[in-house]
Each structure stands twice: as structure tokens, then as C-alpha cells.
Amino acid sequence: MILYAGNILSSHGYTPTFIESLAPKLSEQYSLTAVSDKLSQPHRLMDMVRTFNRHKKELKLVLIDSYSMRAFWFTYVLARLSRRNNIPYVPILRGGGYPERLKSSPSLCRDIFGNAYRNISPSLYLKKHFTDEGYDVEYIPNFIPVNDYPFRERRSVKPKLFWVRSFHEIYNPELAADALALLKKSYPDAELCMVGPDKDGSLAPFMKKVDHLGIGGSVKITGRLSKKEWTELSQDYDIFINTTNFDNHPVSVIEAMALGMPVVSTNVGGIPYLVDDKADGTLVEPGNARVFTDAVISLLEDPDRAFAMSVNARKKVEEFDWDKVRLKWFDLIDPLVGRKAPQHVIP
């Protein structure tokens, strides 16, 4: 049996984290229990510990979505419990702040990652930082079911911008408003659609800025949408913008690339390990609305280049399809946990 610990918070209105995609896929092959959906971090940790103790006699492997900030302690506690009970554990590196954590907490990191059965990084960015610190790390990228994302040819690119993240200060949604205001000076019909829940109260100051800039009639805020809802909505827009100040390996950017939307993103964290500037997307310095807007305008003025980028991006993300990524997970898990017997349907 596998215990998979992470943040399962979509029922509370948060954007689903990757455990909500990976756990169901692994459950098709293995006996697996996933935790936790408790809203507060202390309750979530207690739920993880209780679930571990309830199943520890049958556990063969513990997977841990490993974050670099406060949730870092989830990894520490579960790693110690796993070692005490001689159960292999695998941290899955999710936190974009790990380069700083590796420097600020070297002994804790050695205790956790130096004793892991395997360390998995979904991003080449974090793999590099961990490898530079002497850790063995295997790269298994985040996956998407590529066929669920219909590629739409955008040979005629319009100033219709699309943004998908939680409203949170680290994702800098106000940069999207500033960029739109500048864009409308050259393209008065420019529009912006923003999809995602308000995670830290950033929506209120964002709306205040929108009112101040006088662009309210050109901004659509949907709140949180299901994957199906927002991917269908994306067909009405042409350029995907990622305004974050801090990132690792964002699935929303991968999804936009699969959909054929040319991407303009800030050049932070793991983004340059995902987007090849000028080849399958455009990267710009963070926090600079003028530079960001100029990058959008360059795509509008050269739709052939924008289309070529989107085609290249689609080809790249086909390597992230589950049918390919799953083999890496099977290679990791199979030596420890037997797969379920295939289910035969009797006609």
C-alpha cells in the first residue's frame, strides 16, 4: 500500500494541486491512500500522521508532496515517521523556494533528502539546485493528458489575454492589470480574462487598481473554474500571460502551451527550464509592465512568429503526456509495491 501526502484543498475553493491529478492515476495501478483535505495546516499534519499510524503495518511506500515554506514540516515529520518504521519515502519537490531552504536549513534538508529512498523533482530547475548541493534527484515532470487539450491554430492573433492562477501576491496579478492598461493605448479593444480563486486577499487590491486604471470594462474575473470550463473558455482568447514573481513548474503554463496559446511569462524560478525564450514562448523580466506589454505587442505584430511558437510549444508538452510520464512512476514504484491485478469484465 502507498500513502500519498499532500494538499487536497480544491473542495475548499483552492486551485487543485498536483496530488489531485497524480493520486487517481496511481490508484488505477496500486493500492493508495491520499491525504489530506483538512483546511488548516496543523489539522492537515495531524490527519497525515493519523493516517500513517493507522496504515503503517501495511505501508510499502510514502510519497510526500514536499514544499519549501511552512508545509516543509509535513515532509520532515513524515520522513522521520517513515524511517522510524523502516518504510521507504519519496519527497516530490514542489516548492519553488527550495534553493533558499537548502541554504537556510542544510542539516534538516540532509536529514530529509539524504535519507530518502528517492527524491523526485517535477522541474529541471529544482533538480539542478538539489544536484548542486550533492543530492541524488530524479526528474519526473508534471503530466497532462495532452489529448484533452485541443490545439487551436491562432494564425490571426488578437489582443485577448488569458491568465490562470490563484490571486496571490507571489503571482503578481496586478502586473496583468498594468500590462493591459498599457496595451490598450495601442490596442483599445484589448481584453483580459483572469481565472482563479482569491487565495490571500489579493483580489481586492487588484480590483482597486483596475478601477484606478479605468479598465474595468475590459477585465473579466471568473473565479475558480473546473479544468474543462477554463480550457473551453480559453478558446476565445489568444495569448496566455504568466505574471508571477516566483514559480517552479506551473501546470497552467504547460496546459496553455498544449492549447496552442503563445505564452508570455516572467523569467523567474523554473520557468526558463520550461519555456525556451523566442522558440516556444517569450520570457521577460518580472515586475516590469512596459517590457511585458512590449512582448505581447511583438506577438500581435508578428502573428506568424506567434503561431510558430505555439506549434513548438505543443510539440514540447507532448513529452508530458501521462502515457509517457507514467512509465517513470512505474519504474520507481514497482520494485516496492505490487500492482493491482487487472480487472476483467465478464460480458
Write out the chain in H/E/C secondary structure.
CEEEECCCCHHHCCCCCCHHHHHHHHHCCCCEEEECCCCCHHHHHHHHHHHHHHHCCCCCEEEEEECCCCCHHHHHHHHHHHHHCCCCEEEEECCCCHHHHHHHCHHHHHHHHCCCCCCEECCHHHHHHHHHCCCCCEECCCCECHHHCCCCCCCCCCCEEEEECCECHHHCHHHHHHHHHHHHHHCCCCEEEEECCECCCCHHHHHHHHHHHCCHHHEEEEECCCHHHHHHHHHHCCEEEECCCCCCCCHHHHHHHHHCCCEEEECCCCHHHHCCECCCEEEECCCCHHHHHHHHHHHHHCHHHHHHHHHHHHHHHHHHEHHHHHHHHHHHHCCCCCCCCCCCCCC
Task: Please write the tens of the pLDDT for every residue from 53-79.
Answer: 999 999 999 999 999 999 999 999 999
Separation of alpha carbons 17 and 147, rounded Å: 21
Structure confidence at residue 22 (pLDDT): 96
Separation of alpha carbons 78 and 94, rounded Å: 16
Separation of alpha carbons 67 and 65, rounded Å: 7
| Contact (Cβ atoms closer than 8 angstroms) between residue 238 and residue 154 | yes
Structure confidence at residue 225 (pLDDT): 93
pLDDT at 347 over 50: no
pLDDT at 240 over 70: yes
Give pTM, 2 decimals. Answer: 0.85
Structure confidence at residue 341 (pLDDT): 72
pLDDT category at 343 given cuts 50, 70, 90 is low
218-243 burial string, b = 16+ CB within 10 Å, else e?
bbebeebbebeebbebbeebbbbbbb
What does the mean pLDDT of the chain come to? 95
On the CB side of 82, CA atoms within 13 Å amount to 28
Average pLDDT, integer, range 107-131: 96
Structure confidence at residue 264 (pLDDT): 98
pLDDT category at 246 given cuts 50, 70, 90 is confident
Q: What is the CATH number of domain 146-320?
A: 3.40.50.2000
Instruction: State percent of the chain over pLDDT 70.
Output: 98
Q: Which CATH superfamily is domain 2-143+322-333 in?
A: Glycogen Phosphorylase B; (3.40.50.2000)
Separation of alpha carbons 234 and 28, rounded Å: 30
Residues of the chain with CATH 3.40.50.2000: 2-143+322-333, 146-320
Task: Please write the tens of the pLDDT for every residue from 4-48.
Answer: 999 999 898 888 889 999 999 999 999 999 999 999 999 999 999
229's CB contacts (< 8 A; 6+ apart) are none
pLDDT at 344 over 90: no
199's CB contacts (< 8 A; 6+ apart) are 14, 15, 166, 167, 168
